Amino acid sequence: MSRTLTRLRAATGDPLLVRAGRGLVPTPRAAEIRDDVHRLHHHVRQVLSPPSSRLDFARLERTFTIRASEGFVALFSVPLLTAIAGIAPHARLRFVPKPVKDATPLREGQIDLEIGVLGASAPEVRTRPLFRDKFVGAVRQGHPLLAGDMTPERYAACGHVVASRKEVLTDPVGEALDEIGLKREIAAVVPSHLDAIRVARQSDLVALVPRSCVGRAMIAIEPQIGELVSFELPVHTPEILISAMWHPRMNADPAHRWLRERVKTVCHATFPAADDPRFAGF
């Protein structure tokens, strides 16, 4: 106590407490600042206390920025908006494209959440798996490839449309075909898988797309996709793990945690396999 009082006296330039018999009494300066000190103490306790985990969702006014592919936005944006609007009517979702896998926007707070395949990310970024996907082929109804056995040779002999933003075209299907001495003829490269679907629907090109892009939810969004036929690839390719990614500085934020739970719930409703116990380790 004496050391603390000594520091306070040095800081204020006033004795603050002086002896009066066996006790201490405040100086006029101490009496003058007493109420201000009480208010400051209360404010400091509030600032340094853990934030309340209870949110007033009815009054929550916040824009959450999510970086995701066009396919994710087309498939999940409506159910996600519905799930959020029913609880927090003043919250807003802002979807932005993801031209490259760069953790800088997460680090700098430009985006709240990224959805996609893990890549060269920052080591501190937190992740949560959402669902497993896989590549399938997609062609228009009546395509010649559908008339007969789906062999690697017949598949590779077709013209193909793929989605890529890279100059070097590499994907698991091309690598699998290379291993058995086959090569695709890629006739078109487009920015997104939805673009690949649109091209395949109006031509004889074969699209390579994630299975989620030709699901029932996508048909509801773009009815023309009903004219498309998807098929299992004649070569083995690994599954795709789609995850949510965020920076750890947002980990304890109650509103951000609530957003992550809504995203997980919506994805699991469409892809129940996301509840696979193997995900428990993530």
Domain 57-131+247-281 identical in fold to domain 135-231: yes
The DSSP output letter for 29 is H
Query: Phi then psi for 131, rounded to 5 degrees?
Result: -165, 165
Positions of the chain with pLDDT under 50: 274-275, 277-282
pLDDT digits (tens, 9 = 90+) for 186-221: 999 998 888 999 999 999 999 999 988 886 556 655
pLDDT digits (tens, 9 = 90+) for 48-62: 665 555 778 888 999
Please report the pLDDT score of residue 207 as a whole number. 95
Please report the pLDDT score of residue 226 as a whole number. 64
Please report the pLDDT score of residue 263 as a whole number. 95
Please report the pLDDT score of residue 43 as a whole number. 77
Please report the pLDDT score of residue 51 as a whole number. 59
Which neighbouring-strand residues pair with 210? 135
Show the DSSP H helices in the chain as ranges. 2-12, 28-48, 70-85, 104-107, 152-157, 172-179, 193-201, 216-221, 254-270
Distance of alpha carbon 113 from alpha carbon 127, whole angstroms:
10
Please report the pLDDT score of residue 53 as a whole number. 56
pTM: 0.73
Distance linking the first and last C-alpha atoms of the chain: 49
Residue 75 · residue 68 · CB < 8 Å = no
Please report the pLDDT score of residue 277 as a whole number. 46
What fold characterizes domain 57-131+247-281?
D-Maltodextrin-Binding Protein; domain 2 (3.40.190)
Residue 59 · residue 68 · CB < 8 Å = no
CA dihedral 68, 69, 70, 73 (to 10 degrees): -40
Question: Domain ranges in the chain?
Answer: 2-48, 57-131+247-281, 135-231
The percentage of residues in the chain with a pLDDT greater than 70, rounded to a whole number, is 86
Residue 193 · residue 71 · CB < 8 Å = yes
Q: Is 177 helix (H, G, I), strand (E, B) or coil?
A: helix
CATH number attached to the domain at 135-231: 3.40.190.10
Phi-psi region of 220 (alpha: psi -120 to 50; beta: other; left: phi over 0): alpha
